[in-house]
Every structure is written in structure tokens, then in C-alpha cells.
Structure 1
Amino acid sequence: MRYEDDKKKLVKQRYNELALVKNAESMKKCCCNPAVPSPKVFTIMSEDYSKLNGYEPDADLGVGCGLPTQYAGIKPGDTVVDLGAGAGNDCFIAREEVGTTGRVIGVDFAPNMLLKARENAQRRGFTNVEFLEGDIENMPLPDAMADVIVSNCVLNLLPRKDRIFKEIYRVLKPGARFCISDVVLDGLFPQEFTDNAAMYAGCIASAIQREDYLREIARAGLVDIAVVRTKTIAIPNDVLNEHLDKTTIQKYKKGNVGIYSITVTGKRP
């Protein structure tokens, strides 16, 4: 348990730091910005939200690995929950889709991110978007209250995927749906890679095997599970050289590990 707690503390620290970075170019560091600020810019995972209705540039920290709202089937009047909401990017896209009769709730455990998200919402006068502080392994939400749950490149960062998917089941209404974009693997990293703090906080070393990820979703009782989008991820040599020694890099490349962003849909029966 101590190991899992340490990993969560690391992620919270990194995302608290990310929320304080004001220069958008400095934020686009590796997958989920494992070391910010930085003079170098890498956009391994960043998705282009700019053409989506509801897009708010101040809320886009360049850390998403998919566009889950596009596949979530959000309808006017829905209650949508975003897990790991960050500065509110996916929440504001979802708000555009639920309309004035719907509700959007973002959950995050990094206080600085919550502050940034709430400032973004208040500045724009959004009254049907709220942000709650909480651990998505134990959501501060009642049973069966959500029509849709979305998440973008967050669940892989936390050690207890089994708890998260059981919580998703609990919070969804019967028949309600989810859409998650996340990072998964095909193959194993060297131990030195997995233990590297920057690679872990950067959404890469924290990822689990694709089949294990999908199996955890099914074990939680969720059904109609489908991978609707897959995108291959390549780590630039500059990122590897900055955070890893030569021996570890050689082991990593020799292992030929497949790294993918997947977008998964499904529902609670």
C-alpha cells in the first residue's frame, strides 16, 4: 500500500505543478508533462480540441490522449462526470453538448488544478459546471447519478484500476455509458524504466497491458465494451535521453514495447 500511496502523491505533485505553469508552450512536455516547466516542447499525446464546440484554450493543458466526448454519446440534459478533470477542458466540451438543462461535474485530486478549473468556469459564467476535490478510486458522488462518465489520460496514472472501474459502475445509472481515453501497452518495460518518476508521471511507465486494462473493465461488471479508437505512441529520443540512462534506453528499445492510446466505450447494464 505504501508503494501505491507514493505513486499517487507523485502524480498529485506533478499535476499541482502543471496547473501553475502559465506558458502554454512550456506545458506540452511529454505525455502528461512529467517535468514542467521546460524549454523543450514535446507533444506525444496532445489532441487538437480547437475545432470542437465549447473549446476553451485556457483549459487545454495539452495532456489528453484522446477525445472521449466525441464517442460518449452525450445528449442534451445529461449529467456528465469527468474523472481527472484537470483545468476543465473535457468538461467545457461536454457542457456544450448537455446544454443549459444538463450538468457537468469534474473530479480531480490536485488542489491547484481545481482552482484553475473553477477560475476558468467562473470567468465564463458557467453555472452548470462544477469541480469537486476527490480521489477517483473513491468518488465523492452518490450511487447511480451519472448519465455519462468520461476520462482522458488519467486512469493509467493511478495504481488501483479495479477500484476505479467499480466506482464507475457505482456512479453510473443503470444503462448509462462511459467513454475513456487512456494509455495501454503491448509488452513490458525494463524495471528501470518503470521505476523512473518522470516516465511514471508522464502516463507511460504507469500504463498496464491492453488486455489487462480491458479485463478490469469487464470484471467491474461493465458491458458492451468496445475499443473505438487506437493511436500508436512514440517517445522521442530527446525525452528518453533527458530522463533515462543509456543502458535503460537500450533495454527499452530492444524490448520493442507497443504503446497505444485507446478510447474505450461501454455501459452499466
Structure 2
Amino acid sequence: MSDQKADAVRDTVREGYSEIAEMGQWSGVRPASRRVVEAEGSGCCGGGSGEGGGCCGPVTLTADDVAVAVGYAKEDLASLPEGANMGLSCGNPTALASLVEGEVVVDLGSGGGFDCFLAGPKVGASGRVIGVDMTPAMLSKARGNIESYRKQSALDNVEFRLGEIEHLPIADGVVDVVISNCVINLSTDKGQVWREIARVLKPGGRAAVSDIALLRPLPEAVRANAEALVGCVAGAELVEDVLAAIESAGMVEVKQRAKPEYIEAMVNAEDPLYQKIAAALPEGAKISDYIVSLDVEAKKG
């Protein structure tokens, strides 16, 4: 991908997630601007109503519904600062990582702080959680939630940094665990993301990532759709390419597990974005033939 095209994709993603930060949940964001959505009266996911849609929560599911569908406990969700959960999950990397007290954790694409605020109590006062996000609006939202987290948890161990996941604002070899939730698919250079993960991890450190991946190539009509890009689908890569990038970065003991529950939830809820994707597939094909939520674990060799 050329630098110019990569910049355009990055700008599309940043604009889309700025809209999500402002509205509080994925809701039919279109890169042109929200005025287009409002003028048309519907949009992909409910016409700016704030009621979900896409990789990150359909019109018939709340943000908490999406989180429960991918494995979060209701009691954990109840402990979060208001607005931290925007329905942007496709898995539960904090559970996958099996975090323990004293660990340093970095969350790639931390958004409003959802997984960071869940990881904080797990690593305790002697641990540290650093969220990294390239969207200033998301960073502001997350930082605005810190005081609420401090009061509720009695901990001061979470911070947020502005940065791209291809160029992490983290020193070499200082991190125990890297987590990420439905974000790496948005990158234009996924191999570089995994090289950065390997760079910041301590020897033997681990990564736990939930993401959208492909079982077979998507039709070009879907891949060219900016709405599907912000919705975590158009940027996804084939499972074998995901695993190759991880191993090429020097990560070892790579484990993968497909989680069809997320895709099933989107389809069963008649998510508008997923309905559009289904319409673009060959006759007789199902979305689950193409798209999967994938949990990946790996260690730095």
C-alpha cells in the first residue's frame, strides 16, 4: 500500500472513531461526515441514534449486550466508568491474557479505556496499564474516565498515550503483556504492529489479541467500503496471513481460536452493516463463510 493510500485509510479510521467517541457507541458512522447520515435519515446503523451497528454493536444490541456476547461478565461491566464501553469489542483479551498482579500491560487501540479499566484491578497497585490510541477524541474520553476509575477502584495505575500502534510510544522490552481488542485489523501495516509488539515486550512477555479475520477473501465491493473499514471488516486479513505476520515478528508459541459467537450475534441481530456485507456476497454464501472473530495468544521468543 502506498504511503498516500495508507494515510487516507488512517484518516478514515480516525474520523470514524472520533464520531464514535462523540456519540458514545458505534452508530452508522460514515467517513464523509455525520451530516450525510443525518440527511439520509438512517445510515448503516440507525441514523445517528447512538444505538449501535457494525463490528462494534448493532441497532438491536446495547454496548453491554455486545460485551456479554463476546465473553465479558456483567459484574465487570457494572464496575466500569460511564461511557467506557462503546460496544467496540469482538472478544475479551483481558480474560485471554490471564493478567496477574504487578504486570505492565499495554492496550493497543484503547478507545474509551474499556479493557484498560478492566485490566487495572487485575494487575493491582504494583502493576501498570497503558492505553495507546491514535484518535484524540478517544484519548480525551478515556482520560476523562480516569478519575471515576480511581474513586471506584482506589487505584492509580492506568494512563493513556496518544500514538499509532505501528509506532508505539513505549520503550523497548518493558511490557509484560500486550492486549488488543478488534483494532489491529484497522492497521495498514499489520506486520509492523506485530514487530512493535515484539519490541516492547520483555523476553517471555506475551500478547493476547481478539480481532476480526477472514476465512476467505472478501468481494472487492466489501473491501472498498469505508463503512466496512471502520466496522472492522474491510481491513481484516486471512487467518493464515495473520499468523504469518505474528511468527515473522519473532513471536513463538502462537495459539489461535476461532470464536463464531460474535459473528452469529451480529447476523442474528440483523446488524445493518452485516446485512450489507451479506448482500454483496455470492448467492448462497454466508457471512460466517468469510468472517470470523479470532483470539490469538503468542509469546516473545
Q: Same fold (TM over 0.5)?
A: yes
Look up the equivalent residue of 2:212 and give its one-letter code. Answer: V
Give CA-to-partner distance per residue, 1:129-176, whole Å, 9 cap, x none: 000000000001100010010000000011100000000000000011
Counterpart check, 1:141 vs 2:170: yes
What TM-score results when the alignment is normalised by the length of structure 2? 0.79
Relative to structure 1, the CA distance from residue 13 to residue 250 in structure 2 (aligned partners, 3 Å threshold; closer, same or farther) is: closer
Give the whole-Å Cα distance in 2 for the aligned partners of 1:114 and 1:67.
21
Give the whole-Å Cα distance in 2 for the aligned partners of 1:261 and 1:180.
10
Counterpart check, 1:103 vs 2:133: no
1:51 matched residue in structure 2:
75
Counterpart check, 1:216 vs 2:245: yes
Relative to structure 1, the CA distance from residue 139 to residue 31 in structure 2 (aligned partners, 3 Å threshold; closer, same or farther) is: same
SS at match of 1:5: helix
Relative to structure 1, the CA distance from residue 253 to residue 199 in structure 2 (aligned partners, 3 Å threshold; closer, same or farther) is: farther
Q: Are the aligned partners of 1:31 and 1:46 in contact in 2 as well (CA < 8 Å)?
A: no
Relative to structure 1, the CA distance from residue 250 to residue 165 in structure 2 (aligned partners, 3 Å threshold; closer, same or farther) is: closer
**Aligned 1:63-78 pairs, distance under 5 A:** 63-78=88-103
Q: Percent identity?
A: 36
**Aligned 1:154-233 pairs, distance under 5 A:** 154-228=183-257, 230-232=259-261, 233=263
Look up the equivalent residue of 1:9 and give its one-letter code. Answer: D
Give the whole-Å Cα distance in 2 for the aligned partners of 1:230 and 1:149.
20
Deviation at 1:103, TM superposition (A): 0.5
Of the three residues 53, 62, 65, the one matched with 1:29 is: 53
Of the three residues 153, 160, 166, the one matched with 1:131 is: 160
Structure 1 stretches of 4+ moved >6 Å = none
Counterpart check, 1:117 vs 2:142: yes
1:249 matched residue in structure 2:
279
Q: CA RMSD in A?
A: 2.5
SS at match of 1:59: coil
Deviation at 1:241, TM superposition (A): 8.4
Q: Are the aligned partners of 1:54 and 1:95 in contact in 2 as well (CA < 8 Å)?
A: no
Q: Are the aligned partners of 1:29 and 1:43 in contact in 2 as well (CA < 8 Å)?
A: no
What TM-score results when the alignment is normalised by the length of structure 1? 0.88
Deviation at 1:106, TM superposition (A): 0.2
Give the whole-Å Cα distance in 2 for the aligned partners of 1:70 and 1:23.
23
Can you give the 5+ residue segments of structure 1 that lack an aligned partner in the other structure?
Answer: none
1:12 matched residue in structure 2:
14
Answer with 106-115 or 124-133: which moved more.
124-133
Give the whole-Å Cα distance in 2 for the aligned partners of 1:73 and 1:186.
27
Counterpart check, 1:153 vs 2:187: no
Deviation at 1:55, TM superposition (A): 3.8
